[in-house]
Amino acid sequence: MATLTDGGKPSVTVKTVAARAGVSAQTVSRVLRGSGYVSQQTREKVLAAVKAVGYRPNAVGRSLRATRTPMVGLLITDITNPFYATLHKAIEAVFREHGLTLMLLNSDDDPQTERQQLDLLSSYRPSGLLVAPAVASSLTAEDIAAVGNCVLVSRTLPALDAPSVVTNEPEAMREATEALLRAGHRQIVAVLGPAAASTTERREAGYRAAMAASGHEPLIYYTDQTAAGARSTIKQARHRHPDITAAIGFNTPVTEGILAGLRDQDGHCPDDLSLVGFTDAPWMEFHQPPITVVRQPVEEMGALAAELVLDLIDDKPVAKTAHTVPSRLLHRQSIRSLSR
């Protein structure tokens, strides 16, 4: 919209240019400042609109306005989890091609630390944010809006109205459980993550569905999703339920912990305990026996999440829903057949 000058003639503003180019005023500002990501097509469209409407930027006002830096934050829950290392690498590869820097922050799955990290990130005025929320996260829609251009990865929160990138956890976990059931296992323990995590809820739902369909009782243990936590948990589970013949690990560290706990009890996989992991890792292929696993498409999830952030930065429409990248069950040799 144009405003009137002292002489009564309409002045041309950033909004005038935005309306002409069919983009937001923020996008026009990014083009004029030369900071932040804007696609070449959009940049050309804005510059053409600037010329067409005769816009002349106010240098004083422009210098007083805060700018966005060509950086995007990635706030994760556990920097030691190989899942996030792979995710970070995939996201960074996309942003590097577009001149954006990725800033990695770790919450240690603690809501207070998460908020402190988000405050730190906000002080850099990033162009966007990718976040795997902490368990019991206190982040609100207002917190996310303060940063802008936010995409959730792996975990979701009902209170956050933002696009997310996830895998088909219920279906994948059900398929993993059914593989054990077909092999004749009936006492199958699911060693999961924190009960309040969305990833736990979704994987637990798939496990419960498979067990219910087979007419067998579920056996669930929650952990802090670390190898140490799972190591202790599997020993407790096998002590309390000596008839357990199979287990499903929530993630790579949990799967590692199950194997360590089994070894502590002089047990062996798959003779004493069949095992399916969730999320692959290089060592699983070379373990003896190689571990059957739900292979999460981590690289694809990271690339998609990065592309969605770029779309948001470029003012393209992005559905505020879960964008699902399917996993698949990779059969190896860690399931012993009990079927006759």
Encoded tokens for 154: 């792996």
Give the per-residue pLDDT at 5: 43
The residues pairing with 128 across neighbouring beta strands, listed in sequence order, are 72
Encoded tokens for 82: 């190989």
Which CATH class, in words, describes the domain spanning 169-296? alpha beta
Of 262 and 123, the one with more pLDDT: 262
Give the per-residue pLDDT at 154: 96
d(CA 18, CA 28): 6
Domains 3-64 and 169-296 share a fold: no
Answer yes or no: is pLDDT of 274 > 80: yes
Give the per-residue pLDDT at 2: 45
What are the structural domain ranges in the chain?
3-64, 71-167+298-325, 169-296
Distances (CA, A) of 60 to 56, 57, 65: 12, 9, 9
d(CA 268, CA 253): 18
Q: What is the pLDDT of residues 130-187, one digit of tens each?
A: 999 999 999 998 888 888 899 999 999 988 889 999 999 999 999 999 999 999 999 9
The mean-pLDDT minimum among 52-56, 150-154, 281-285 falls in: 52-56
The fold of the 71-167+298-325 domain, in CATH, is Rossmann fold (3.40.50)
The angle at the Cα of 145, spanning 59 to 26, to the nearest 5 degrees, equals 25
Phi, psi of 49 (to 5 degrees): -70, -40
Residue 73, helix vs strand vs coil: strand
The residues pairing with 220 across neighbouring beta strands, listed in sequence order, are 190
Q: Which amino acid is at 327?
A: S
Give the per-residue pLDDT at 25: 82
Quote the DSSP letter at residue 100: -
pLDDT confidence tier of residue 338, bands split at 50, 70 and 90:
very high
Q: Which helix (H) or strand (E) holds 40?
A: helix 40-53
Answer yes or no: is pLDDT of 77 > 90: yes
Q: How far is CA 247 from the centre of its chain?
A: 25
Q: The sheet that has 292-295: what strands, in order across it?
A: 219-222, 188-192, 246-249, 274-278, 292-295, 328-330
Quote the DSSP letter at residue 80: T
The pLDDT of 212-225, averaged and rounded, is 97
Which of 57-61, 121-125, 205-209 ranks highest by mean pLDDT?
A: 205-209
CB 161 within 8 A of CB 218: no
Q: How would DSSP label each residue in 307-339?
A: HHHHHHHTT----SSEEEE--EEE--S------
Of 340 and 189, the one with more pLDDT: 189
Query: Could you tell me the maximum CA-CA distance found in the chain, to the nearest angstrom?
Result: 94
d(CA 55, CA 11): 9
Answer yes or no: is pLDDT of 81 > 90: yes
The fold of the 3-64 domain, in CATH, is 434 Repressor (Amino-terminal Domain) (1.10.260)
Write out 160-192 in H/E/C secondary structure.
CCCCEEEECHHHHHHHHHHHHHHCCCCCEEEEE
d(CA 301, CA 250): 18
Q: Which amino acid is at 67?
A: T
Over the chain, what is the mean pLDDT? 91
Give the per-residue pLDDT at 224: 95
Phi-psi region of 45 (alpha: psi -120 to 50; beta: other; left: phi over 0): alpha
The mean-pLDDT minimum among 28-32, 205-209, 216-220, 279-283 falls in: 28-32
d(CA 1, CA 10): 9
